[in-house]
Amino acid sequence: MAIEDIVIPQMGESVAEGTVGTWLKAVGEAVAQDEPIVEIETDKVAMEVPSPFAGVLKEQLVAEGDTVEIGALIARVDTEGSASAAPKAETPAPEAESAPSPAPQSKTATEPAASAPAQTEAPASLMPMSPAVRRIVDDYNLDPSSVTGTGKDGRLTKADVLAAIESGKARTLSAPANAAAAPVDTGPREERVKMTRLRKTLAQRLKDAQNTAAMLTTYNEVDMTAVMQAREKYKDLFAKKHSIKLGFMSFFTKACCLALREVPAVNAMIDGEEIVYHNYANIGVAVSAPNGLVVPVLRDAQDMSFAGTELAIANFGKKARDGKLTIAEMQGGTFTISNGGIFGSLMSSPILNAPQSAILGMHKIQDRPVAINGQIEIRPMMYLALSYDHRIIDGREAVTFLVRVKEALEDPTRLLLDM
């Protein structure tokens, strides 16, 4: 027997401890090298801790919900052990095979035998699942048999389920036919759930931003006709050449980079008694993750192409869903873009992402009547909201920034001519 210790790895210079989330491997289960065994939640991100060794998980030394420091011992792996026998869904098969087969004297006698193989196939819903996989399956009400498992013995992994959801291959379970007649168990009238470390930290920082900054929001609206026409015209060529869809975020990112260069105060921050002006644009892109909102950063976005921007954002979205965003990828932002429109928001006032001094809120595109050259026309319009710290950004600068973003989006040629 060779026992190896597993400790919490270094997760960033500013991270000293984390909270144990979900154990992905049970004691006695086989573990491959670099296979995730537990989720750890820090102040900034939830991430999976892989096993540096292949073997069998011998001990879990911390429980879900425990607070652990970086470098703390959390588990032990037996690198020479073998996995304990787990109950498999195929167990009915030996019983069916051991039963004496009746002589094929009649058609009715052979029918049960013909259907026997179908009975021995294990339903996917009975296959063992890790807590993380079971949570996703239950949350989305998925039919496990619609997902192809790539784990040991065909088990479903977290990546399998998320990939099936993203590709649209995962089916949802339909309600029973007599569900309407059956009494509905709504469960308890109240439920108390402990806040995750990430949620507590997020709440504290948002409140700190509200208490510290002199926050104000200014609004404008943009006619999205030109952007939508450009996307429609070039979407197929763009996808064929770059293997990524042409979305709205690349247009908004480029427009913001141009406006930030013209109005540098919007890209600045207060540090003590000094104002720090950034001569680069590190654009934070707010994305939704299972454990809350996270803001990965497009570094030097002013130098990125449309394709590079779309590829980076798509990669951030996938990492956020998989819980694989690193702390380094969420640090160093100078300005943030939040797209509430994907959830149907028509207008909102986004809150600052401290220590940044401004954040742009995008919203739902909605057809509205507008006056164009003295005529009433129906145009796809979007409200824009810029929340900013009035201690460093004046109203004139905030309005100018929004107007420059509006002009660039309504005439995308400006993005190409750098105007």
Sketch the domain layout of the chain as residue ranges: 3-78, 125-174, 197-417
Q: What is the layout of strands, in order, in the sheet containing 55-60?
A: 3-7, 73-78, 55-60, 30-31
- The pLDDT score that the predictor gives to residue 196 is 73
Residues 301, 304, 305, 307, CA torsion sign: negative
Q: What class is the 125-174 domain?
A: few secondary structures
394 included as an active-site residue: yes
Contacts of 86 (CB under 8 A, 6+ apart): 28, 29, 128
Which of 138, 153, 303, 394 is flagged as catalytic? Answer: 394
Instruction: Name the burial class of residue 157, with classes exposed (0-12), middle (13-18) and buried (19+) by CB atoms within 10 angstroms of its CB.
Output: buried
- The pLDDT score that the predictor gives to residue 280 is 95
- The residue ranges of DSSP E strands in 158-291, in sequence order, are 215-223, 268-271, 274-277, 283-285, 287-289
Distance CA 85, CA 87 (A): 7
- Averaged over successive runs of 10 residues, the pLDDT of the chain (419 residues) comes to 82 72 85 86 75 87 83 85 51 44 46 43 56 74 82 73 77 62 66 77 81 92 95 92 92 95 95 93 85 84 94 89 81 92 89 92 94 94 96 95 96 80
Which of 138, 236, 303, 390 is flagged as catalytic? Answer: 390
418 included as an active-site residue: no
- The pLDDT score that the predictor gives to residue 176 is 52
Could you tell me the CA-to-CA distances from 223 to 364, 376, 382 in Å, in that order?
12, 14, 7
- The pLDDT score that the predictor gives to residue 38 is 86
Give the DSSP H or E segment for 7: strand 3-7
- The pLDDT score that the predictor gives to residue 416 is 78
Distance CA 183, CA 296 (A): 45
Contacts of 154 (CB under 8 A, 6+ apart): 127
Q: What class is the 3-78 domain?
A: mainly beta
Cα 264 to the center of its chain, rounded Å: 31
Distance CA 210, CA 389 (A): 10
Q: Which CATH architecture has domain 197-417?
A: 2-Layer Sandwich (3.30)
Cα 365 to the center of its chain, rounded Å: 23
- The pLDDT score that the predictor gives to residue 152 is 61
pTM of the model: 0.63
- The pLDDT score that the predictor gives to residue 330 is 85
- The pLDDT score that the predictor gives to residue 82 is 67
Distance CA 27, CA 56 (A): 8
Q: Please list the alpha-helical segments (H only) found in 286-412.
A: 306-322, 395-410
- The pLDDT score that the predictor gives to residue 368 is 95
* Four-point Cα dihedral 48, 49, 55, 56, nearest 10: -70
Residue with tokens 């590079």: 308
Residue 41 pairs in a beta bridge with: 19, 46
Residues 162, 168, 170, 171, CA torsion sign: positive
